[in-house]
Amino acid sequence: MKAFLEELVNQHRPSVGEGKLADYIPQLSEQDPTALGISVRTCDGEVYSAGDCPERFTMQSISKVITLILALMDRGGEAVFERVGMEPTGDPFNSIYKLEQAPGKPLNPMINAGALVVSSLIKGSTVEERVGRVLSLVRRMAENPKIELDHAVYYSERATGFRNRSMAYFLKEFGMIEDVEATLELYFQQCSIAINCDDLAQMGLCLARLGQNDAGEQVIPRELARLVKTFMVTCGMYNASGEFAILAGIPAKSGVSGGILASVPERMGIGVFGPALDEKGNSVGGVRLLKGLSRELNLSIF
Ligand code: GLU
């Protein structure tokens, strides 16, 4: 398996030249565009990795999976899905244009508008407390208490996130968000949580085991582990989710830093990283690694 992963990384490394770093968050353009890595953790306790696995990167949109779990734990499904839908969208992740149409309810929690609404629902009396709760869930799912925020990326997005600010104010106008500034602070900070491929693989494993950690403790409720994997299939890879479902068939969520969290029910968690992105915002090399692995190990859930 280790040799196969290494071969896969070597085979797909040249493809990263076809992609581009995200630069609308200036700090992300500092990443190494040639990086590519993969980590696999199986339900049988096997651990494999290849390529640039130890390299740290920020969660970005992958954090939307975590905040959705937390908001559902805090408020329950009825309150959350009153404000955010369950349908995929063919629009880009940061599209604002559907928000202009009443009732201003974002289509799903994996696009930025939906994720802003979800973050606004996370409980806590201060932004620090709410960020702390998100971070704590990430650490418990990844089984890594050392995970922290990357402050340079946080400040970079905070200084330039004009589109997300606009979206949040649109959402306030429609009564979908109350405290806009606190929500934006929380959102920018959750996106800047720094992890690596091993952390992602462990988080994917937790979802694959229906919310259980290595010790068999229930970190998140079983039904929520199932629900977020469904969103990952239908909306996790931006507006390329349909194609990814057909070609890889694995629940996955990508972020503009180039990371992808993937989870194969009852089999394994997978983390990949390759910051060169395609035009839809997915890691060029990362998508190829997942497709290749799925083909070789027959991982499609369909
Ligand atoms: N922080 C990024 C943004 O809101 C996350 C986007 C992403 O990873 O898709 O633009």
> Are both 261 and 178 inside the same structural domain?
no
Clarify whether 64 is annotated catalytic.
Answer: yes
Tally the domains of the chain: 2
Cα–Cα distance for residue pair 231/236, rounded to 1 Å: 6
Mean pLDDT score of the chain? 96
Residue of 64, 105, 253, 291 marked catalytic: 64
Residue 216, in any domain of the structure: yes
Which tens digit of pLDDT belongs to each residue from 30-62? Answer: 999 999 999 999 999 999 999 999 999 999 999
The residue nearest atom 1 of ligand 1, judged by CA position, is 60
CA 195 vs CA 99, 133, 145, 172, 243: distances in Å:
32, 16, 11, 31, 27
Clarify whether 61 is annotated catalytic.
Answer: yes
Distance 256 CA to ligand 1 centre (A): 6
Residue 302, in any domain of the structure: no
Residue of 48, 187, 233, 254 marked catalytic: 187
The residue nearest atom 2 of ligand 1, judged by CA position, is 60
CB burial readout 10-41, b (16+ within 10 A) else e:
eebbebbeebebbeebebbeebebebbbbbbb
Residue 222, in any domain of the structure: yes
Which tens digit of pLDDT belongs to each residue from 137-153? Answer: 999 999 999 999 999 99
Which tens digit of pLDDT belongs to each residue from 266-295? Answer: 999 999 999 999 999 999 999 999 999 999
Residue carrying structure tokens 């462990």: 202
Distance 163 CA to ligand 1 centre (A): 10
> Are both 276 and 129 inside the same structural domain?
no
pLDDT of residue 102: 63
Which tens digit of pLDDT belongs to each residue from 169-209? Answer: 999 999 999 999 999 999 999 999 999 999 999 999 999 99
Clarify whether 40 is annotated catalytic.
Answer: no
> Are both 66 and 185 inside the same structural domain?
yes
> Are both 290 and 206 inside the same structural domain?
yes
Which tens digit of pLDDT belongs to each residue from 84-124? Answer: 999 988 777 777 777 777 678 899 999 999 999 999 999 99
Give the number of the atom of ligand 1 that is nearest the alpha carbon of residue 93.
9
Cα-Cα-Cα-Cα dihedral of 230, 231, 235, 237, to 10°?
-80
Give the number of the atom of ligand 1 that is nearest the alpha carbon of residue 256.
8
> Are both 183 and 66 inside the same structural domain?
yes
pTM over 0.85: yes
Domain boundary among 133, 166, 191: 191
Residues that constitute the known binding site for substrate: 61, 112, 157, 164, 187, 238, 256
Distance 84 CA to ligand 1 centre (A): 18
Residue 301, in any domain of the structure: no
Distance 191 CA to ligand 1 centre (A): 7
> Are both 65 and 186 inside the same structural domain?
yes
Residue range(s) defining the domain that contains residue 219 = 2-58+196-296
Residue 274, in any domain of the structure: yes
> Are both 213 and 291 inside the same structural domain?
yes
The domain that contains 69 carries what CATH number? Answer: 3.40.710.10
Residue of 119, 156, 238, 287 marked catalytic: 238
Residues that constitute the known binding site: 61, 112, 157, 164, 187, 238, 256
| Angle subtended by helix axes 180-191 and 151-160, to nearest 10 | 140
